[in-house]
């Protein structure tokens, strides 16, 4: 890491207006933001980690229930959503790239694309959830154990809803952040010199993508070959 900060105070000439008073220069500020964001993502890893632990334990105990219940998920929709989310990661990466160039219109374009893709993902998720409600596969008092499956398939759906639900919540927050970015981009806030917010939201969005990259095989692809 940097050996402390550089001695030169920033009060001298042209301090950029985005520079907060307590940082030495823009680079120190950018570095702190990036580190902060990464550390935040660490907390997110462990946040989801609690549920992954529960998943691992119960899947080991109730393998057959999990495999059977997993086969009740709509693989087509799940795979489609995976593709959508990967594509949204691409547009997000391009938005960050556009931000570094300071190309206002491109930023807005790519961010809009990302929002649309994120919205598509959530829309498909709503369809999937609705199917579960219709089939009484939502855990709780109205749950009906699917035919031919052990009773513990309810546990799979408990975890399915918790994990995808929290993931979807992260998507919703992400879309909110993207809208905020678009507003700022249209105002012309982002320049080659200052585009940290785009960068940070990009990190967040990619992280949410990574979570899904793991959720997809763990939830949708269990025991498909046994059919």
Partner 1 sequence: MTNATASGRERVNYLNAGYGVRSWLLTTDHKRIAILYLIGVTVFFAIGGLAAALIRLELLTPAGDVFQAETYNKIFTTHGVMMIFFFMIRGIPAVLGNFLVPLMIGAKDLAFPRLNLLSWYLYIIGGLIALWAVVHGGVDTGWTFYTPYSTVYSNGWVVVTAVGIFLAGFSSILTGLNFLVTIHTMRAPGMTWMRMPLFCWGMYATAIIQILGTPVIAITVLLVAAERLFHLGIFDPAQGGDPVLFQHLFWFYSHPAVYIMILPAMAVISELVTAFARKPIFGYKFIAGSSVAIAVLSFLVWGHHMFVSGQSVYAGLIFSILSFMVAIPSAIKVFNWTATLYKGSISYQTPLLYAIGFIGLFTFGGLTGLMLATLGLGIHVHDTYFIVAHFHYIMVGGTIMAYLGGLHYWWPKISGKMYPEYWSRVSAWVIFIGFNLTFFPQFIAGYLGMPRRYHAYPEEFQVLNVMSTSGASILGIGYLIPLVYFFWSMRYGKDAVDNPWGATGLEWQTPSPPPTENFPETPVVTGKPYDYVTAREEVAVG
Partner 2 sequence: MTPLFPEQASTFAHNVDALYLFLIAVTAFFSLLIGALVVVFAIKYRRKATDEVALEVHESGLLEIVWTVIPFGLVLVMFFWGAKVFFQITRPPADSIEIYVTAKQWMWKLEHTDGRREMNELHVPVGQPVRLTMASEDVIHSFFVPAFRFKRDVVPGRFSTAWFEATKPGKYHLFCAEFCGTRHSNMIGWIYVMTPADYQAWLSGGTSGETLASAGAKRFVEQACNTCHGEQKGSRGPSLSGLYGRTVRMQSGQTLAADEAYIRESIVNPQAKLLEGYPPIMPTYQGLISEEGLLQLTAYIKSLSPAPASGGALAAPPAPSPERKSTKP
Partner 3 sequence: MRRNESDDTHGHGSPGAYFAVFTALMVLTAVTLWAAYQHLGIWNTPLALAIAAAKAVMVALIFMHLRSSPKLTAIVVATSIVFLAFLILITLSDYLTRPWLPIYGR
65 binds partner 2 (CB under 8 A): yes
186 binds partner 2 (CB under 8 A): no
What is the nearest approach in angstroms of partner 2 to the Cβ of residue 154? 10
What is the nearest approach in angstroms of partner 3 to the Cβ of residue 147? 23
65 binds partner 3 (CB under 8 A): no
What is the nearest approach in angstroms of partner 1 to the Cβ of residue 7? 4
Q: What is the spatial distance between Cα 192 and Cα 189, in angstroms, rounded to a whole number?
A: 10
Candidates 181, 184, 198; CA nearest to 30 is 198
Rank residues 66 and 212 by Cβ distance to partner 2 and give the closer one: 66
What is the nearest approach in angstroms of partner 1 to the Cβ of residue 31? 6
Stretch that binds partner 2, among 13-21, 29-37, 38-46, 58-66 (CB under 8 A): 58-66
Rank residues 5 and 71 by Cβ distance to partner 2 and give the closer one: 71
Residues 6+ apart with CB under 8 A from 185: 99, 104, 107, 108, 111, 198
Q: What is the spatial distance between Cα 18 and Cα 225, in angstroms, rounded to a whole number?
A: 55
Distances (CA, A) of 104 to 27, 115, 180, 181, 187: 22, 17, 14, 11, 9
157 binds partner 2 (CB under 8 A): no
Phi, psi dihedral angles at 39 (to 5 degrees): -65, -40
Chain residues that interact with partner 1, rule: CB under 8 A: 1-7, 9, 11, 20-23, 28, 31-32, 35-36, 39-40, 42-51, 53-54, 57-58, 61-62, 139-141, 151-152, 154-155, 158-159, 161-162, 166
Rank residues 70 and 114 by Cβ distance to partner 2 and give the closer one: 70
Collect contacts of 59-67 with beta carbons under 8 A, ≥24 apart. Answer: 59/222, 61/152, 62/150, 62/152, 62/153, 62/155, 62/156, 64/150, 65/149, 65/150, 65/151, 65/152, 65/153, 65/155, 65/156, 66/153, 66/155, 66/156, 66/222, 66/223, 67/222, 67/223, 67/226
- Provide the binding-site residues for partner 2, judged by CB under 8 A: 61-65, 150-152
- Provide the binding-site residues for partner 3, judged by CB under 8 A: 1-2, 27, 31, 34-35, 38-39, 41-42, 45-46, 49-50, 52-53, 56-57, 60-61, 75, 79, 82-83, 86-87, 89-90, 92-94, 96-97, 100, 192, 202-203, 206-207, 209-210, 213-214, 216-218, 221-225
């Amino acid at each position: 890491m940097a050996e402390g900060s550089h001695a030169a105070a920033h009060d001298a000439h042209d301090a950029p207006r985005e520079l907060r008073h307590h940082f030495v220069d823009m680079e120190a500020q950018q570095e702190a933001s990036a580190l902060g964001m990464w550390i935040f993502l660490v907390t997110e890893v462990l946040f989801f980690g609690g549920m992954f632990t529960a998943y691992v334990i119960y899947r080991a105990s109730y393998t057959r229930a999990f495999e059977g219940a997993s086969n009740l998920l709509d693989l087509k929709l799940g795979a489609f959503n995976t593709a959508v989310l990967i594509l949204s990661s691409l547009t997000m990466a391009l938005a960050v790239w556009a931000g570094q160039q300071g190309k206002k219109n491109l930023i807005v374009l790519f961010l809009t694309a990302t929002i649309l893709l994120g919205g598509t993902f959530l829309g498909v998720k709503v369809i999937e959830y609705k199917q579960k409600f219709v089939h009484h596969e939502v855990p709780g008092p109205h749950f009906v154990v699917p035919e031919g499956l052990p009773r513990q398939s309810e546990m799979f759906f408990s975890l399915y809803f918790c994990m995808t639900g929290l993931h979807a919540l992260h998507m919703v927050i992400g879309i909110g952040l993207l809208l905020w970015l678009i507003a700022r981009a249209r105002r012309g806030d982002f320049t080659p010199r200052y585009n940290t917010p785009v960068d940070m939201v990009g990190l967040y969005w990619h992280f949410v993508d990574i979570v899904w990259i793991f959720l997809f095989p763990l939830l949708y692809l269990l025991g498909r070959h046994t059919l």
